[in-house]
Amino acid sequence: MSPFLAAVLQLLALIAALALAYRPLGDYMARVYSSPRHLRVEKWIYKTIGARPDTEMRWPAYLRGVLAFSAAGVLFLYLLQRLQGSLPGSLGFASIDPDQAFNTAASFVANTNWQSYAGEQAMGHVVQTGGLAVQNFVSAAVGMAVAVALVRGFARSRTGELGNFWADLVRGTVRILLPISVIGAIVLVACGAIQNFAGIHEVGQFLGGHQQWQGGAYASQEVIKELGTNGGGLANANSAHPFENPNGFTNLFEIFLILLIPFALTRTFGRMVGNLKQGYAILATMATIWLGFVLLMWATEFTHHGPALQAAGGAMEGKETRFGVGASSIFAVTTTLTSTGAVDSFHSSFTGLGGGITLLGMQLGEIAPGGVGSGLYGMLIMAIIAVFIAGLMVGRTPEYLGKKIGTRQIKLAACYILITPALVLCFAAAAMALPTPPHSVLNPGAHGFSEVLYAYTSGANNNGSAFAGLSADTPWFNTTIGLAMLLGRFLPMVFVLALAGSLAEQKPTPETAGTLRTEKPLFSGLLVGTILIITGLTYFPALALGPLAEGLAS
């Protein structure tokens, strides 16, 4: 069987598995966020927090909950790293420096998982499992909560109430993320991922001498890092490390975990707004872009342009033998079209255009299918923009899901789509203009600029993958990327929740003959076009200086 045919079969198997899980998981999540009942363990958690889970919140209260919880997360994670040197169970590893500890705390709370440290030599068991992996769960649950609040904004009328943040946070963690993680982690261990709390392993070698590796809770963190679209692995090589991703099956399974919740949330959305077809239209938009990107990536990686790859006879630099070019390409597209950033191969050594595809994937705003929660709310914002554009063409007030899209809604949506590009382009320009930051660049020429552009794109979009040649552990990059991650995560959430509040206050607008049918393929097409045009207009000049210049030259 040719590698290309095997790649196609893997893609088909992946789609089949996702299709099987779509309905049951999507409906289950809709029940989780709508059910009036609380589990016993949840009641105990609410009591400890001091929260009343049945109290409805308006958007400012919901937002305050998000920000208070996340601020506590940043502070706790920062302190945990600063104190690592004195904590037991840390393998005697030293405390993390202030700038890197800030960067890492911001990174994991913002669901980004940008890592300016090398996990296996820097972080002990306590920080990994008790700090970083916890944020892998709860930052994902926060994203889902905000998405559900926006969906409630569409579904509800004349109230302004969006649900209870604490209840959404706890339910997402306890009822959705934890059960899937337990099963997934055991599957990974059964395939060879390690899971222990041993100290440093010293292992003999075939020709004498020793290897030293750190033990650790690899499998339990690996599964939630994919499922929660986080991306921060225990090892520096991330999912290319054999302990995180031992074979071809686990590789496909990890891609499945990344896509599972983001795609299924469109079903949850359809269920909660009472029209499944609206969910399918969003799903179709996401799937079209994702599939298109996979095909483009195959086209460029299998033809392996670029002098070094041509000489080698294949794009295997930075790729593992057990995955090969085909599966590594699916992984790379999936991780950058979601907010994951886990990698099973190193994007910096992809072809020039292949690296450009990973960059563009993030620049679309990670909405196809995007991060858990953030993908859905990002896509719904784009849907509002698309409806608005269609409304301008025919000259009537746009509506989406029975809600009028007026001045306030469009202002909020516009703020949402402007904030991330502003962060990316301003920080990247500043880094290139200043004297010292460019010293961190590894590769010469256009690719060097791409490394910096990639870093801020990845940070502000909460992805976390890297053109990892960049030496990012400097005070400048730790601080600015840290800020980009926090602002790129929480400012959009402010706009989303404000939008949700304004939608929930409206009374429903009855559907008329002139209403744009947003459940039809025509609308999905319009939405794909809107996304591509807006992203293209924003980023084309920067892309032309980096990956396009590199890719077209070779």
Restricted to residues 88-117, the positions that interact with another protein (CB under 8 A) are 91-94
Interacting residue with another protein among 148, 150, 167, 217 (CB under 8 A): 217
As measured in angstroms, the least distance from the Cβ of 399 to another protein is: 36
Q: Using CB under 8 A, which residues numbered 324 to 363 contact another protein?
A: 324, 326-327, 343-346, 348-352, 355
The secondary element (H helix, E strand) that includes residue 16 is helix 3-34
Query: Is residue 456 at the binding interface for another protein, with CB under 8 A as the rule?
Result: no
Query: Is residue 318 at the binding interface for another protein, with CB under 8 A as the rule?
Result: yes
Q: Using CB under 8 A, which residues numbered 404 to 423 contact another protein?
A: none
Neighbouring residues of 536: CB distance < 8 A, sequence distance ≥ 6: none
Q: Which amino acid is at 325?
A: V
Query: Is residue 122 at the binding interface for another protein, with CB under 8 A as the rule?
Result: yes
Q: Using CB under 8 A, which residues numbered 170 to 209 contact another protein?
A: 170, 173-174, 178, 181-182, 185-186, 189-198, 200-201, 203-207
Q: Using CB under 8 A, which residues numbered 457 to 496 contact another protein?
A: 467-469
The secondary element (H helix, E strand) that includes residue 71 is helix 59-82
Query: Is residue 314 at the binding interface for another protein, with CB under 8 A as the rule?
Result: yes
Comparing CB distances to another protein, the nearer of 373 and 378 is 373
| Cα 126-253-255 angle, rounded to 5 deg | 85
Interacting residue with another protein among 392, 434, 522, 553 (CB under 8 A): 553
Q: Using CB under 8 A, which residues numbered 233 to 292 contact another protein?
A: 235-237, 240-243, 246-249, 251-252
86 DSSP 8-state letter = G
Q: Using CB under 8 A, which residues numbered 38 to 77 contact another protein?
A: 41, 45, 48-51, 64-65, 68-73, 75-76
Comparing CB distances to another protein, the nearer of 215 and 459 is 215
As measured in angstroms, the least distance from the Cβ of 199 to another protein is: 10
Comparing CB distances to another protein, the nearer of 187 and 422 is 187
Inter-helix orientation angle 374-394/521-543, to 10° = 100
Q: Using CB under 8 A, which residues numbered 9 to 38 contact another protein?
A: 9-10, 13
Query: Is residue 453 at the binding interface for another protein, with CB under 8 A as the rule?
Result: no
In order, the DSSP letters of 536-552 are HHHHHHHHIIIIIHHHH
Comparing CB distances to another protein, the nearer of 181 and 480 is 181
Q: Answer yes or no: are the C-beta atoms of 475 and 379 closer than 8 Å.
A: no
The secondary element (H helix, E strand) that includes residue 224 is helix 218-227
Residue 68, burial from CB neighbour count under 10 angstroms (0-12, 13-18, 19+)? exposed
Comparing CB distances to another protein, the nearer of 180 and 272 is 180
As measured in angstroms, the least distance from the Cβ of 57 to another protein is: 12
| Residue 213 φ/ψ, nearest 5 degrees | -130, 160
Q: How many helices (H) and strands (E) would you count in the chain?
A: 21, 4
Q: Using CB under 8 A, which residues numbered 133 to 172 contact another protein?
A: 133-134, 137-138, 166, 169-170
Provide the phi-psi class of 94: left if phi over 0, else alpha when psi is between -120 and 50, else beta: beta
The secondary element (H helix, E strand) that includes residue 45 is helix 40-49
Provide the CA 534 distance to its chain's centre, in angstroms.
20
Provide the phi-psi class of 43: left if phi over 0, else alpha when psi is between -120 and 50, else beta: alpha
Comparing CB distances to another protein, the nearer of 14 and 534 is 14
As measured in angstroms, the least distance from the Cβ of 337 to another protein is: 20
Cα separation, 15 vs 19, whole angstroms: 6
Cα separation, 350 vs 484, whole angstroms: 25
Which residue, among 309, 417, 410, has the nearest Cα to 367 in the 3D structure?
417
Interacting residue with another protein among 20, 118, 434, 537 (CB under 8 A): 118
As measured in angstroms, the least distance from the Cβ of 37 to another protein is: 19
Comparing CB distances to another protein, the nearer of 131 and 402 is 131
Comparing CB distances to another protein, the nearer of 221 and 338 is 221
